[in-house]
C-alpha cells in the first residue's frame, strides 16, 4: 500500500493538509471553551486528547514534506521515518476520527452553553430585564449594571451610571420614602420604586440597588386617594344630613300621607262620576259611604278616609267596580276563578295590601288614561303578579309618578321589585 511519502505535493496531499489545519483550529477552540466554561473532567480530557492528536497529525504531515525536500535525511529519527512510511489511508482515517470527535465536542459545547449560564449569558439576561439593577462594591464602584438602570441614572443624574453611591443619594433626595424604599417620579412622568440592599459573596460585601416601574400602580393610588378625599367629604355631608334626619323622616311620612290621600280622593271622584253616568250599575251605598268618610277626613272629623271592607283586595275590587272597572283575577296553574280567589287569600298580608293598592291605581288609570273597563290580575306560583287592562296602549313611556311612585316605594320596602312596560300594551309586574 502507498505510504504517506508517495503522495507528497499531490492533490490528495493538499486535501489532507487542509483538513489537518482546520481540525487543529477547531479542536483548539473546543479545548479553550471547555477550559473557560470549567467543564467536567471527561469532556475536558476528550477535548485535550483530540486537540493533541490533531496537532500531532499536522506536525507529521509537515515533517514528511520536509523530509522530501531536505538534503539531510539523517536529521529524522527511525521512528519518524516509520511514521512517514505508514499508509496515507491511516492518516486519512485518523483525520476522519478527529473530525467525528470534533463534531461531538462541538455539539456538547453548544448544548452546555444553552443549558448552563455563563457570565456573558447572565449579563445579557440582566440587560433584558424590564427592572433596573446595579451591584457595586461598598465604595460605590459598579460591578454589574443593566441597561435599564443606566437609563434611569441618565434621567436622574444626567450621566451614565459609574457611581452607585451618587445615584442612591439622588434617589433619597428626590424620592418619597415608603417603608425604606423610595418612590421617584422621572421627568417623563414615570414613577419608579427604588430599593437598596446588600449581600456577601466570596467573603466580600456588595451593595445592590433595584428599581421597579410602578407608574400604573401609583396612578391607581392617586385615584384612590382622591376617592378617599371624596368619601370623607361625603361622610361630612352625611353627618350634616343625619342631623336633619328627624325632620326628613317627618317630611317623608307627610309625603306618603299626601300620596295616599291623593289616591283615595281620586278614587272617590271617579266613583262619583261613574255613579252619575251609570246609576243603574253602581251601588249608591258604597258611593255615599266613601264620599261621606272622605269629606269627614278632609274636615278633620275622621282619622282616615274610606277603606271599604276589611279585606284589602276585596275592598280594592269593590272600589274598582264602583268606578266602572271589572277586576279579573287568574291563577296560571288553575284557570278556575274560585281557585284564583283562594290563591289571593293565601298571600301574605303585606303582599295583599300592596296588591290592593296596585289594583286601585291600575283601575283608576284604566278609566283616566286607557278608556278601558277591565283590569286583569295574573298570579303564578313564584309570587309574580302581572296586571294589565283592555284599554288603549300608552302613547309613550309611562312616567313613574304620583300613585305609581308611592306603589313602587312600598314594593321596595317589602323587598320586592316593580317593572313597567308600555309596549305593546300596558303591563305592571310585581315580584316578591
Note the pLDDT tens digit of each residue in 311-330. Answer: 788 888 888 888 888 999 88
Q: Which residues, other chains included, contact 250 with Cβ-Cβ below 8 Å and sequence gap of 6+?
A: none
- Are 272 and 416 in the same domain? yes
- Are 148 and 102 in the same domain? no
State the pLDDT at residue 170: 92
Phi-psi label, residue 158: left if phi above 0, alpha if psi -120 to 50, beta otherwise = left
- Are 288 and 400 in the same domain? yes
- Are 111 and 129 in the same domain? no
Nearest to 170 by CA among 147, 146, 186: 186
Total domains in the fold of the chain: 3
State the pLDDT at residue 25: 92
- Are 106 and 76 in the same domain? yes
Q: In a 3-state reduction of DSSP, which class is residue 309?
A: coil
Examine the fold and report which residue of 116, 133, 154 is the final residue of a domain before the chain moves on: 116
State the pLDDT at residue 249: 47
Is residue 233 included in any domain, yes or no? Answer: no
* Burial classification of residue 385, based on how many CB atoms lie within 10 Å of its CB (0-12 exposed, 13-18 middle, 19 or more buried): buried
Domain that holds residue 329: 246-431
Examine the fold and report which residue of 116, 142, 167 is the final residue of a domain before the chain moves on: 116
CA distance linking residue 103 with residue 101, whole number of Å: 5
Nearest to 409 by CA among 346, 358, 348, 360: 358
- Are 130 and 100 in the same domain? no
Q: Under a CB-based contact definition with an 8 Å cutoff, are residues 390 and 372 in contact?
A: yes
Task: For residue 349, give the CATH number of its domain.
Answer: 3.30.565.10
Residues of the chain where predicted confidence (pLDDT) is lower than 50:
248-250, 303, 306
Q: What is the DSSP letter of 381?
A: T
Average pLDDT over the chain, rounded to an integer: 82
Is residue 71 included in any domain, yes or no? Answer: yes
CA distance linking residue 411 with residue 385, whole number of Å: 12
Is residue 384 included in any domain, yes or no? Answer: yes
Examine the fold and report which residue of 116, 142, 161 is the final residue of a domain before the chain moves on: 116
Is residue 374 included in any domain, yes or no? Answer: yes
Predicted model pTM = 0.38
- Are 376 and 291 in the same domain? yes
Is residue 231 included in any domain, yes or no? Answer: no
Task: For residue 205, give the CATH number of its domain.
Answer: 3.30.450.20
- Are 129 and 39 in the same domain? no
Is residue 252 included in any domain, yes or no? Answer: yes
Element (H, E) at 181: strand 181-185
Is residue 32 included in any domain, yes or no? Answer: yes
State the pLDDT at residue 149: 92
Residue 339, C-alpha cell as written in the block: 281557585
- Are 27 and 174 in the same domain? no
Across 92-161, the runs of DSSP E, i.e. the strands, are: 132-136, 142-145
Is residue 257 included in any domain, yes or no? Answer: yes
- Are 272 and 394 in the same domain? yes
Amino acid at each position: 500500500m502507498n505510504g504517506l511519502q508517495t503522495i507528497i505535493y499531490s492533490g490528495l496531499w493538499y486535501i489532507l493538509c487542509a483538513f489537518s489545519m482546520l481540525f487543529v483550529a477547531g479542536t483548539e477552540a473546543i479545548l479553550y471553551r471547555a477550559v473557560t466554561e470549567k467543564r467536567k473532567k471527561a469532556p475536558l480530557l476528550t477535548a485535550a486528547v483530540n486537540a493533541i492528536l490533531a496537532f500531532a497529525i499536522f506536525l507529521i504531515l509537515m515533517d514528511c514534506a520536509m523530509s522530501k525536500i531536505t538534503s539531510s535525511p539523517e536529521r529524522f529519527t527511525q521512528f519518524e521515518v516509520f511514521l512517514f512510511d505508514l499508509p496515507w489511508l491511516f492518516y486519512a482515517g485518523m483525520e476522519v476520527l478527529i473530525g467525528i470527535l470534533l463534531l461531538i465536542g462541538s455539539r456538547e459545547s453548544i448544548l452546555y452553553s444553552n443549558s448552563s449560564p455563563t457570565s456573558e449569558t447572565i449579563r445579557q439576561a440582566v440587560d433584558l430585564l424590564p427592572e433596573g439593577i446595579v451591584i457595586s462594591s461598598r465604595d460605590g464602584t459598579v460591578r454589574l449594571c443593566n441597561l435599564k438602570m443606566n437609563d434611569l441614572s441618565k434621567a436622574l443624574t444626567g450621566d451614565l451610571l459609574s457611581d452607585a453611591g451618587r445615584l442612591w443619594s439622588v434617589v433619597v433626595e428626590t424620592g418619597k420614602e415608603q417603608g425604606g424604599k423610595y418612590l421617584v417620579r422621572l421627568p417623563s412622568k414615570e414613577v419608579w420604586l427604588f430599593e437598596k440592599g446588600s449581600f456577601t459573596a466570596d467573603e466580600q460585601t456588595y451593595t445592590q440597588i433595584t428599581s421597579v416601574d410602578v407608574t400604573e400602580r401609583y396612578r391607581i393610588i392617586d385615584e384612590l386617594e382622591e376617592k378617599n378625599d371624596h368619601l370623607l367629604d361625603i361622610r361630612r355631608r352625611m353627618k350634616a344630613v343625619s342631623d336633619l334626619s328627624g325632620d326628613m323622616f317627618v317630611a317623608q311620612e307627610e309625603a306618603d300621607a299626601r300620596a295616599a290621600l291623593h289616591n283615595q280622593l281620586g278614587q272617590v271622584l271617579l266613583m262619583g262620576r261613574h255613579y252619575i253616568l251609570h246609576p243603574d250599575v253602581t251601588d249608591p251605598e258604597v258611593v255615599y259611604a266613601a264620599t261621606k268618610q272622605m269629606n269627614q277626613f278632609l274636615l278633620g272629623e275622621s282619622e282616615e278616609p274610606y277603606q271599604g271592607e276589611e279585606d284589602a283586595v276585596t275592598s280594592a275590587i269593590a272600589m274598582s267596580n264602583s268606578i266602572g272597572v271589572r277586576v279579573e283575577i287568574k291563577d296560571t296553574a288553575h284557570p278556575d276563578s274560585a281557585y284564583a280567589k283562594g290563591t289571593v287569600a293565601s298571600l301574605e298580608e303585606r303582599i295583599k295590601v300592596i296588591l290592593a293598592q296596585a289594583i286601585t291605581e291600575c283601575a283608576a288609570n284604566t278609566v283616566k288614561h286607557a278608556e278601558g273597563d277591565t283590569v286583569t290580575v295574573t298570579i303564578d306560583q313564584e309570587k309574580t303578579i302581572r296586571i294589565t287592562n283592555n284599554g288603549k296602549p300608552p302613547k309613550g313611556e309611562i312616567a313613574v309618578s304620583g300613585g305609581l311612585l308611592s306603589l313602587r316605594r312600598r314594593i321596595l320596602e317589602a323587598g320586592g321589585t316593580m317593572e313597567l312596560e308600555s309596549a305593546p300594551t300596558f303591563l305592571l309586574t310585581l315580584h316578591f
